[in-house]
Amino acid sequence: MANYFSLLLVILTLVTGFIWLIDSLFFAKKRKARWASGGANANGEPTAEPHKPYVVDTAQQIFPIIAFVLVLRSFLYEPFQIPSGSMMPTLLVGDFILVEKYAYGFKDPVTRYKFLDTGKPERGDVAVFKYPENKNLDYIKRIVGLPGDTVIYRNKQLFIKPYCQATAKECAPIAPVELTYVGSGEFVQNMAPLQRFTESLGKVSHDILRHPVFDQPPSTFYAQPGTQIDEWIVPQGHYFVLGDNRDNSRDSRFWGFVSDDNLVGKAVAIWISFEFERQPDSWLPAWVPTGVRFSRVGGID
């Protein structure tokens, strides 16, 4: 849907701009010339300037608005809605976020060709990207593995060995990502209270959730040739992503890596957050909010 909307914005901008340009260069001059040679009416008063054609008038009014939205949405910031709980507790269902489109480079809104590189993803970024198995879908996950990194997810513990071009003795060994237990009970899945931990990824500290019993079977993981079943070496130009709700997220563990070409931008803020919790016998449609979580408005860790 987002791809179609971007294409529609581009088409509307081009069509309305073209109509305005053609009218300004040719037809507007002819209308003014006919009006200037029309003289005065029977009372000696100058005749009124003729009205612009409806199509031209409409194009001139909506072109600046559409062009502004196109530039804002394609190159600066784009709003997204969080539809699932795979990024809890960082992002909840009903959060509406802003994604910084220029964080990882300026891209053409239709072909997604990057024509200007403005930065690279950093470990710990919350990023929106095109789902590798269906480019019409937008996914949001946390970047944990950078190009060249070795990533292991074993017994609910994340291990990372940063990419190193030096000799093996000078490279840092693979090490577990630091976890600090926070508590449990705030979030529940399948009637079990989820455990909350603070995870440190480089300069970024954020909270994750783990199910106390359920564990993803390694046999379901994406198998990368030449590595163990729960180990991945991130290719150049690609990234390894995970959901913060580790036992309720379909991410790089299951379908592989995210290429730089598929990156949309960096999630930077929650601009509004709605609640949709209601009783089963409620007469309200499911899409109608039941409240606003003002406390969630702000930056994203």
pLDDT one-digit tens code per residue, 33-84: 766 666 555 555 555 566 788 888 888 888 888 888 888 888 889 999 888 8
**Which of 114, 93, 92 has the alpha carbon at shortest distance from 103?**
114
Q: Is residue 237 situated within a structural domain?
A: yes
- The share of the chain scoring above pLDDT 70, in percent, equals 91
pLDDT at position 285 is 76
What are 178-233's pLDDT values in tens digits?
A: 999 999 989 998 888 999 999 998 788 999 999 998 888 888 999 999 899 999 99
Which one has a higher pLDDT value, 29 or 121?
121
pLDDT of residue 6 exceeding 80, the answer is: no
**Shared-domain flag, residues 214 and 136:** yes
Return the minimum-mean-pLDDT range out of 98-102, 151-155, 279-283. 279-283
pLDDT at 160: 95
The answer to whether the beta carbons of residues 162 and 152 sit under 8 Å apart is: no
133 and 281 fall within a common domain = yes
Mean pLDDT calculated for residue range 268-291: 82
Domain membership flag for residue 221: yes
pLDDT of residue 20: 85
Give the pLDDT band (50/70/90) at residue 234.
Answer: very high
Which CATH number characterizes residue 161's domain?
2.10.109.10
Task: State the average pLDDT over residues 131-148.
Answer: 94
Q: Please give the pLDDT value at position 202.
A: 79
Same domain, 71 and 89: no
Residue 290 located in a structural domain: no
Tally the residues of the chain: 301
Q: Which residues 6+ apart lie within 8 Å of 289 measured at CB?
A: 94, 274, 275, 276
56 and 102 share one domain: no
Q: Which residues contact 283 (CB under 8 A, 6 or more apart)?
A: none
Verify that 157 and 260 share a domain, yes or no: yes
Structural domain including 107 reads 82-285
- Same domain, yes or no: 250 and 122: yes
Contacts of residue 143, Cβ cutoff 8 Å, sequence gap at least 6: 121, 122, 123, 124, 125, 126, 127, 239, 240, 241
Domain boundary pick from 76, 106, 127: 76
Query: Among 12, 241, 248, which Cα is nearest to 138's?
Result: 241
Q: Are residues 67 and 100 in the same domain?
A: no
Any domain includes 295: no
In this structure, the answer to whether residues 12 and 115 fall within a common structural domain is: no
Q: Is residue 123 predicted with pLDDT exceeding 80?
A: yes
Q: Is 37 a catalytic residue?
A: no
- CA of 198: how far to CAs of 89, 91, 127, in Å? 11, 15, 19
Catalytic residue among 141, 249, 266, 273: 141
Same-domain status, 118 and 61: no
Picking from 76, 106, 132, the residue at the C-terminal end of a domain is 76
Domains held by the chain: number = 2
Domain assignment present for 297: no
Same domain for 94 and 27? no
Instruction: Tell me phi and psi for residue 232, to 5 degrees.
Output: -140, 140
40 lies in some domain: yes
Q: Is the pLDDT of residue 1 over 60?
A: no
Q: How many CA atoms lie within 13 A of 122 on its CB side?
A: 10
Q: Which of 89, 295, 84 is nearest to 193 (CA)?
A: 89
Q: Percent of the chain having pLDDT more than 90?
A: 49
Same domain for 148 and 43, yes or no, is: no
pTM of the model: 0.83
Selecting among 6, 86, 249, 252, the annotated active-site residue is 86
Q: Same domain for 47 and 141?
A: no
141 is known as an active-site residue: yes
With respect to residue 301, please indicate whether it lies within any of the assigned structural domains: no
